[in-house]
Structure 1
Amino acid sequence: MARNKHLGSSLNSFLEEEGLLDEVEAIAVKRVLAAEVAAYLRQNDVRKTAFAKRIRTSRSQLDRLLEPDNPSVTLQTMVKAARGIGKKLELRLA
């Protein structure tokens, strides 16, 4: 019987071995930001067009940001969106 080489390993080590860790981490960060921005828009009754104008981006860029699984959004748009909801996007190297 063959043993599972991943048995007892962490999810991070598995994802790293499979070459997926960077992508999964990036998508997780974007999903959190998308959820925060969507909640802000709902709670404050702010329309997407008005918010996009306020953070000086296009409505289509904002739509890409709000789509949790769409990775094609710029870091600049993410920073603007975070600032637009009164938060700060922090990146750090550990």
Structure 2
Amino acid sequence: MAANKHLGSSFDSFLEEEGVLDEVEAIAIKRVLASEVAAYLVANDVRKATFAKRIHPSRSQLDRLLDAENPSVTLQTMVKAARGIGKRLELRLG
């Protein structure tokens, strides 16, 4: 029986070995933001069109922002969306 080469390693190191760590991290961050924005819209009874006017993205940018599976959104749009729900987007290098 072959030993598991990942036994004892971190999940991040496993994802890195698989070559998907950056993609997984980007999608996780994006899912949090999309979830926060969607929850804000529901809790405050704000339509997507109204929110789009507030933060000034194109319709396709807003759709990409709210699609939790799509990591293709600009940093500027993410900052505007965070401000649009009364929050700040903070980035840290660790």
| TM-score with structure 2 setting the length | 0.95
**1:89 to 2:89 alignment:** yes
Q: Distance in 2 between matches of 1:61 and 1:71?
A: 11
DSSP-derived class of the 2:57 partner: coil
Structure 1 unaligned runs (5+)? none
SS of the equivalent of 1:83 reads: helix
Q: Which moved more, 1:79-88 or 1:6-15?
A: 6-15
Quote the residue 1:4 is aligned against: 4
Where structure 2 has 5 or more consecutive residues not aligned to the other structure, the ranges are none
**Are 1:52 and 2:56 matched, yes or no?**
no
Tell me the residue number matched to 2:21.
Answer: 21
Map Cα deviations across residues 3-33 of structure 1 (whole Å, 9 max, x no partner).
Answer: 1100121111111111211111111000000
Distance 1:43 1:34 in 2: 14
CA distance in structure 2 between the partners assigned to 1:88 and 1:58 by the alignment: 21
CA distance in 2, matches of 1:59, 1:46: 15
Amino acid paired to 1:47: R
Count of residue pairs the alignment pairs up: 94
The separation in 1 between residues aligned to 2:19 and 2:38, in whole angstroms, is 30
Give the percent of matched residue pairs that are identical in Structure 1 and Structure 2: 82
SS class of match (1:73):
coil
2:16 partner letter: E
| Cα offset, 1:44, TM superposition | 0.4
